[in-house]
Structure 1
Amino acid sequence: MKTKVALITGGYTGEAEVSFKSAAFVQAQLDKEKYAVYPITITLDSWFHVTDAGIKISVNREDFSLDIDGDIVMFDVAFIILHGSPGEDGRLQGYLDMIGLPYTSCGALTSALTMNKEYTKAVISGIQNLYVAKSVLLFGPDRQGAGDVVQKNLTLPYFVKPNAGGSSIGMSKVKVPSELQEALDKAFDAANTGCQVLVEEFVTGREFSQGIFRNAKGELLVLPATEVRTTREFFDFEAKYVAGLTEEITPADLTEEQKERASRIIRDIYIRLNCKGMVRVDFFLEKDTDKFYFIEINTIPGQTPQSFIPQQVRALGMKESEFYAELIEAVIAPDPTLRT
């Protein structure tokens, strides 16, 4: 009997467009002989599945089931590929926990925590060989005097970004004081990001992104790193999704010592944050000091053909179909110790 997979996509933010592309790629890779995959779209207005015949079926939110011509479809596992809220901030995970449906991502608490960049930095503080940029966290009531607070505590240039956003939406690099207020307003006004803004001192160096996942045997496997080189000021939304603006090198050109150090750091981050499934850690390797600086962690990484994780999976020598199957089997494995 095939494993019934709810492939959850969509979302409440501007990242929904990327979620649809990611979900389409995952669906195309999954073994159709082994998995019966049902794409489920979640929006602010509705939760639904569209059948092969083009019929829109609403999800029964009491148990996350589908009624297709009188046939009640109950799922064995949810494959969450919904970037941003509610798939990456713990809301969806909390709901799935309540109805008892296992899923492929981090749990509700970890998801909620890691959507908050500054709170995440506080938890991972102290990990050996990992550094974090000096920063200021601003809340909605602080908006009036935010510029003064930033300039008093930090040294230019700054990175200004929503504290709970994704895909670099609402992010700016500030090089002179006159640019600061516009950058703060842009970050505060970014939709569905919680009205918190994080301002960090700029770290000069090479930028990397690296995935890690737990396989069906319960083993933690670190994927090869990707180095990001962009013609933009930084790796913003356009750099991520507009062709030709960014060069991505996978596997990255790192020394063996740097690879081993990064691997240890990423494993420690995964364990410290109690992650599950696949996650991706972004970091800088600071120029001159050779220190790894944490940027952020992404618990629902993009899965388009050009996304970092698929690149890294291929560099590891795996097929994407095998990789996604590992994520599913790790969740439904009969041995509960493999789910920790």
Structure 2
Amino acid sequence: MKKNIAIIMGGYSSEVGISLKSGNVVYKHLNKEKYNPYRVHILKDKWVLVDDDENEHPINKHDFSAEVNGTNISFDAVFNAIHGTPGENGVILAYFNLIGLKHTSAPFYQMALTFNKRDTLSVVKEYGIPAATSVYLNKGDKINTNTIIEKVGLPCFVKPNGAGSSFGISKVYTQEELIPAIEKAYEEDSEILIESFLDGTEVSVGVIQYKGETKVLPITEIVSDNDFFDYKAKYEGESQEITPARLTEAQEKSVNDIAKRVYEILNMSGFSRSEYILVNDIPHFLEMNTVPGLTEASILPQQANHAGISLTELFGNAIEMALKN
């Protein structure tokens, strides 16, 4: 008997449009002979099941069901395609946990932890994982630009703590640019981090649960046409994403080993895509994305393709892993 699968997409953050694209790709490629997929838009003003005619049917939040043409639709599992809040930060996953509904992501605590860049760095650094030097600020803190620059140097990066898709990120070259960059980051989050610039090769690597095993996917080298891997570089073609990355055998092994170790340190499951910069052949951890882009052109699907895994297999495996948990 086919399983009913809710593909949740949208969300409450700046990434809503990107999430809708990812979710629709999942809907397109999911095996319709095995599953009954349904698109569910989770938006600030409504939760609705959207049918093939684009009609909207309200979601009953009591049990996450919907009535469609007189038939009550309940779900066997949820495919999480929400970038940002409330999907990637674990909020809606805690709700699913309460009502006993299985989903494709890691448990809500792991999702909340990895969505918080500052907390993730604090954990992995305790395990000896190399990372940039950081300064943390909360909105309202007094700002001493001299002290910040003395610690992280110039250039440096200013980032919102809980935003994705490079929203709110600035590369700062001078002391005068620091305050405007901080204000920009605060538009996305009340917590920010300021990191030292790491000069080296940037790579992105997917680690997933595949057929019951932790699998490291082929590494992608990021070569941005811009000053860094910003929104335009990610989504508007202003970068080269080279898979497999142009690394030596030793570099590749180093990245694979540390990526798998970080995945396990953080007790992850489901999808992940992490960014590293190789400095003197040593991978330095930047951050982990637990709901990475899932369009045909996105990095993790590219990596899966190079590993011989189709989108249908990739998405179907995530659902099967969720159903077995």
Q: Shorter-chain TM-score category?
A: over 0.9
Q: 1:199 aligned to 2:164?
A: no
- Distance (Å, rounded) in 2 between the aligned partners of 1:226 and 1:26: 22
Correspondence for 1:48: 48
Query: Which amino acid in structure 1 is aligned with residue 292 of structure 2?
Result: P
Correspondence for 2:283: 292
Q: Summarize the Cα distance change of 1:54–1:25 in structure 2 as closer, same or farther, 3 Å threshold.
A: closer
Is this contact kept in 1: 2:254–2:282, CA < 8 A?
A: no
- Distance (Å, rounded) in 2 between the aligned partners of 1:147 and 1:172: 15
1:332 counterpart SS class = helix
Q: Summarize the Cα distance change of 1:46–1:135 in structure 2 as closer, same or farther, 3 Å threshold.
A: same
- Distance (Å, rounded) in 1 between the aligned partners of 2:144 and 2:83: 29
1:141 counterpart SS class = coil
Q: 1:64 aligned to 2:64?
A: yes
Deviation at 1:146, TM superposition (A): 4.7
1:302 counterpart SS class = coil
TM-superposition CA deviations, 1:284-308 (whole Å, max 9, x none): 011xx21111110000000111100
Deviation at 1:46, TM superposition (A): 0.6
Query: Which amino acid in structure 2 is aligned with residue 164 of structure 1?
Result: G
1:198 counterpart SS class = strand
- Report matched runs for 1:278-289 at 5 Å: 278-286=271-279, 289=280
| Match 1:265 to one of 246, 258, 268 | 258
Is this contact kept in 2: 1:138–1:146, CA < 8 A?
A: no
- Report matched runs for 1:1-340 at 5 Å: 1-127=1-127, 130-142=129-141, 144-190=142-188, 193=189, 195-216=190-211, 218-243=212-237, 245-286=238-279, 289-333=280-324, 339=325
Deviation at 1:202, TM superposition (A): 0.2
Query: Which amino acid in structure 2 is aligned with residue 166 of structure 1?
Result: G
Query: Which amino acid in structure 2 is aligned with residue 154 of structure 1?
Result: V
Q: Percent identity?
A: 39
2:82 counterpart SS class = coil
Deviation at 1:325, TM superposition (A): 0.8
Correspondence for 1:336: none
Q: Alpha carbon RMSD of aligned pairs, Å?
A: 1.2
TM-superposition CA deviations, 1:142-189 (whole Å, max 9, x none): 1x4253441242211110010111111000001111111111110112
- Distance (Å, rounded) in 2 between the aligned partners of 1:11 and 1:185: 24
- Distance (Å, rounded) in 1 between the aligned partners of 2:21 and 2:231: 16
Deviation at 1:71, TM superposition (A): 1.2
Query: Which amino acid in structure 2 is aligned with residue 167 of structure 1?
Result: S
Q: Where does the alignment leave 5 or more consecutive residues of structure 2 unmatched?
A: none
- Distance (Å, rounded) in 1 between the aligned partners of 2:149 and 2:54: 55
Deviation at 1:119, TM superposition (A): 0.7
Matched residue pairs, number? 325
Deviation at 1:200, TM superposition (A): 0.4
TM-superposition CA deviations, 1:8-43 (whole Å, max 9, x none): 000111101100111111111111111100010011
Is this contact kept in 2: 1:127–1:268, CA < 8 A?
A: no
- Distance (Å, rounded) in 2 between the aligned partners of 1:116 and 1:93: 16
TM-score of the pair, normalised by structure 2: 0.97
- Distance (Å, rounded) in 1 between the aligned partners of 2:71 and 2:273: 38
1:95 counterpart SS class = helix
Query: Which amino acid in structure 1 is aligned with residue 228 of structure 2?
Result: F
Deviation at 1:126, TM superposition (A): 4.2
- Distance (Å, rounded) in 1 between the aligned partners of 2:71 and 2:242: 47
TM-score of the pair, normalised by structure 1: 0.93
Is this contact kept in 2: 1:127–1:265, CA < 8 A?
A: no
